[in-house]
Structure 1
Amino acid sequence: MRKRGQNSWTFTVDVGTDAQGKKEREFKTLKVTDPTLLRAPKRLQEYLETELTKFKLEALAGQHKKHGKMLFSKFLEEYWEVNFVNIDLEEKTQASYLFHRKKRIEPYFGHMYMDQIETTHILKFMQLLRHPNARADGTGPLKSATLVYNYRVLKSIFSKAMEWKIIKENPMTGIKKPKEDDVKQMEVYDEKEIKLLFEALDYESLQLRTAITLAITTGIRRGEMAALEWTKIDFERGHLYITQSIPKMKDGQPILKPPKNGKPRRIVLSETELAELRLLKAERDAELTDLPDQWGDGKYSFVFCHPDGMPYDPQWFTKKWIDFHRRHQLKAIRFHDLRHTSISWMIYKQVHSEVIAKRAGHSNIKMLEIYGHIFESVEQAAASVFNDIKKG
């Protein structure tokens, strides 16, 4: 890609060699007339790279029409460049795509030519995913969410192939999205189970006790808890600020991201929660005096971390929670279900829905509809308050 004029660029694509071994190239000149693009260097660069990739695919497709056809595996390389490399996507999104591409999609379709893939091939692939031992380790069936993910990736791939004129017909046409009929429903603790949980926490380390207490009383997400820093806790006002999240670790290092929905929020803490946090901070400060070398040059102050200050992998919370509820023979629920328990309990206690949504970090109260069964019981209780008036 070379800039040729004030607002124009020339694309050059190598498409192979001719019979004499001479390189064959395709050229295209693109003029950008959108003033908003020209004023935004980053957006302009992304646009140019996308257009270059499109032209490259068109040129290669034309070459393949002369000497053969475009392989699915070759198209995937370009699809990856446009949809993942040049766009700032979540690390988890990229990792998930690469896993399914390498383990399932590419092994099945990689050797096939794009214009030879038919609807029946897609149907057979989806049927293969439904095999009783389709998991990567061969120990059981895939969850319906995995089937849906593969379906969506294939749909995106062939839609892009149509857009770039690599194929004339979309083999995904007429294929229905798999039903998600095995989605695990949320489970929550009732009042008795919450009491048992807090009784069991009395026998645990201060760090684990604080983590589980915060999860069930504030409803913060696992990644948000992993990224929580002491600088985000205002002990005087009793406020906790959620400003970042660690969705996962990459190459042993944390990936810091904004919280879900990209919106920071404030959570008011009770005196009990503040007391636990003060104890944990005192314990942490004592550890720091013995460690001159801190992770990240000491510029971070993670609440839940290794002795050198490096934050725990979000998986740490899940593993510790599973070990905890098993040892104390509590009802087995997911760590994320502690968040559901927190929200459900606030609903049961008739806290205003807007306050709940704000505290939980939901973009609006519509997200609370998944707790409809709890709202129903609360509404029934609300209706019954008029019984006394009627009796009087």
Structure 2
Amino acid sequence: MPTIEKRGEKSFRLVVDIGTKSRRKRKVKTIRIEDPALLKTTKKLRNYLESEWYKFKTEVEAGAYITPHKRTFNMFIEDWEKKYALDHLDDKTRETYEYIMGKEIQPYFGDMYLDEIQPIHILNFLEEYQRENDVSTSSIHARYRIIRDILGRAAEWKIIKENPAENVKRPKQKYNEYEIYTEEEIKEIFMLLDEHAPLRNRVMIKFAFTGGFRRGELLAIDETDLFFDTNEVRIDESLQYTKKKGYRFKDPKSNSFRKVTMPPDVMQEAAILLREIKKNKLLLGELWRGTDKLLLFGGDMGQPQYPTSPNTWWQRFTKRHNIKPGRLHDMRHSHATMLINQIGKVPGLNIKAISQRLGHANVQTTLNIYTHANRESDILVADAINNILKTGTF
């Protein structure tokens, strides 16, 4: 017979006794009923409480129930990984979470009981991490987000009453000042690429500058994504690498499936590169290591490129030819900034069109990232305002 004790208007205590008379142990769990319909109907309420009691009894007898004040952060992480992370987090995201948690978050919070973690503990952790590592605001924000997400899951599963991270002021994320290449610098880079870079690297860097692709998107482009009759490149996958699973093709970030129109000259070079890849594949025969995709920017034997390889090559190239150093992602930022600077000069070009080309989830993302880096446009705006003050017109 279920033992259920009323503790308050909406509160009930479930009691389960286990063991023999001489070694009897009592497990107690308190639940609150928030549904007014249940509270009004005695029979429905009794059925619900008895159902919860039998679930509780099963957990207790199986040894699966741990009272909240005895569940440590590390103990909960095991549940979180099995019941949430494996099914809901992307492989790369999970790998990042595991690295940050194992190295920084778990050593700090691991032995603390979940219901003892307070907002002040989270604040102290973030301040200590920033002080000892002298890191960017984006790194602080990443650690805050992981803690908030994990404790949020504990609150959702009713293991703790509320998520203490929700009472911590979210660290303000500052977007980094990117290394922006000017139009003149890009022209010079293209000349140097034509003179000194191997065909594959030359086309890859030109694609990055003129298409604004993310690195994973660039490395996933295959023969079927190239439309030479319309000078378009389709983005429907992104290449990802993790230590546990190796290479994997997945949906692009924010489900940013799109087609990007490219300069005809760059597409002509891509066509030449594709012909060279096909010749190389025939030449290598059984030594060819490509997948079922004929990658435009794969390795020498057709295999996917390691994600950091393009940046490594670019750093060497910039050093050798006295070019301003930067990353592959800076080419995407340069592409976006160059387009933003053309708003008002090119008919039909607006922030929405740029956002769609970049594959952003919404226009606000584009504005948040690029308006601060857009010095040239800022000067034009200031000049326009100055003109209004002087003449009353633009």
Question: Is the structural similarity TM-score above 0.5?
Answer: yes
Aligned to 1:111: 111
Query: How far apart are residue 193 of structure 1 and its match?
Result: 1.2
Query: How far apart are residue 332 of structure 1 and its match?
Result: 2.1
Aligned to 2:354: 356
Q: Which amino acid aligns with 1:273?
A: V
Query: How far apart are residue 71 of structure 1 and its match?
Result: 2.1
Match 1:240 to one of 230, 233, 245: 233
Query: How far apart are residue 94 of structure 1 and its match?
Result: 0.5
Change (3 A) 1:367 1:119: closer
- Three-state SS of the structure 1 residue aligned to 2:131 is coil
- Is 2:307 the partner of 1:309? no
User: Is 2:91–2:242's contact at 8 Å kept on the other side of the alignment?
Assistant: no
- Is 2:186 the partner of 1:194? yes
Q: Which amino acid aligns with 1:204?
A: A
Query: How far apart are residue 333 of structure 1 and its match?
Result: 2.5
User: Is 2:74–2:106's contact at 8 Å kept on the other side of the alignment?
Assistant: yes
Change (3 A) 1:234 1:109: same
For residues 363 and 157 of structure 1, what CA distance do their matches in structure 2 show? 24
Q: Which amino acid aligns with 1:84?
A: A
Change (3 A) 1:220 1:168: closer
For residues 25 and 200 of structure 1, what CA distance do their matches in structure 2 show? 74
Q: Which amino acid aligns with 1:121?
A: H
- Three-state SS of the structure 1 residue aligned to 2:234 is strand
**Alignment of structure 1 residues 364-379 onto 2, 5 Å:** 364-369=362-367, 370-372=369-371, 373=374, 374-377=376-379
For residues 309 and 320 of structure 2, what CA distance do their matches in structure 1 show? 17
Query: How far apart are residue 368 of structure 1 and its match?
Result: 3.6
Query: How far apart are residue 215 of structure 1 and its match?
Result: 0.7
User: Is 1:187–1:337's contact at 8 Å kept on the other side of the alignment?
Assistant: yes
CA deviations over 1:14-39 (Å, ceiling 9, x no partner): x9x9689999999xxxxxxxxxxxxx
- Three-state SS of the structure 2 residue aligned to 1:247 is strand
User: Is 1:227–1:246's contact at 8 Å kept on the other side of the alignment?
Assistant: yes
Change (3 A) 1:119 1:299: closer
- Three-state SS of the structure 2 residue aligned to 1:276 is helix
Q: Which amino acid aligns with 1:184?
A: N
- Is 2:340 the partner of 1:347? yes
Match 2:289 to one of 292, 295, 299: 295
Query: How far apart are residue 129 of structure 1 and its match?
Result: 0.8
**Alignment of structure 1 residues 241-256 onto 2, 5 Å:** 241-251=234-244, 253-256=246-249
For residues 184 and 100 of structure 1, what CA distance do their matches in structure 2 show? 21
For residues 247 and 319 of structure 1, what CA distance do their matches in structure 2 show? 17
CA deviations over 1:99-154 (Å, ceiling 9, x no partner): 1111111112222222333444333322321233x4xxxxxx33322222222222
Aligned to 1:36: none
Aligned to 2:5: none
User: Is 1:84–1:94's contact at 8 Å kept on the other side of the alignment?
Assistant: yes
For structure 2, list consecutive stretches of 5 or more residues without a partner in the other structure: 1-15, 29-54
Aligned to 2:267: 274
For residues 367 and 375 of structure 1, what CA distance do their matches in structure 2 show? 18
State percent identity of aligned pairs. Answer: 30
- Count of residues in correspondence between the two structures: 334
CA deviations over 1:64-120 (Å, ceiling 9, x no partner): 47xx82222111111222331132x22221011101111111112222222333444
- Three-state SS of the structure 2 residue aligned to 1:266 is strand
- Is 2:205 the partner of 1:212? yes
Query: How far apart are residue 242 of structure 1 and its match?
Result: 1.4
Q: Which amino acid aligns with 1:330?
A: I
Match 2:276 to one of 272, 283, 287: 283
Report the RMSD for the aligned CA atoms in angstroms. 3.8
For residues 173 and 384 of structure 1, what CA distance do their matches in structure 2 show? 44
For residues 25 and 117 of structure 1, what CA distance do their matches in structure 2 show? 23
Query: Which of the two has higher C-alpha Rg?
Result: 2
Aligned to 1:102: 102
User: Is 1:60–1:70's contact at 8 Å kept on the other side of the alignment?
Assistant: no
Please identify, of 327-336 and 111-120, the stretch whose mean Cα deviation from structure 2 is larger: 111-120
Aligned to 1:85: 86
Match 1:319 to one of 300, 312, 315: 312
For residues 384 and 77 of structure 1, what CA distance do their matches in structure 2 show? 61
For residues 266 and 219 of structure 2, what CA distance do their matches in structure 1 show? 17
- Is 2:114 the partner of 1:122? no
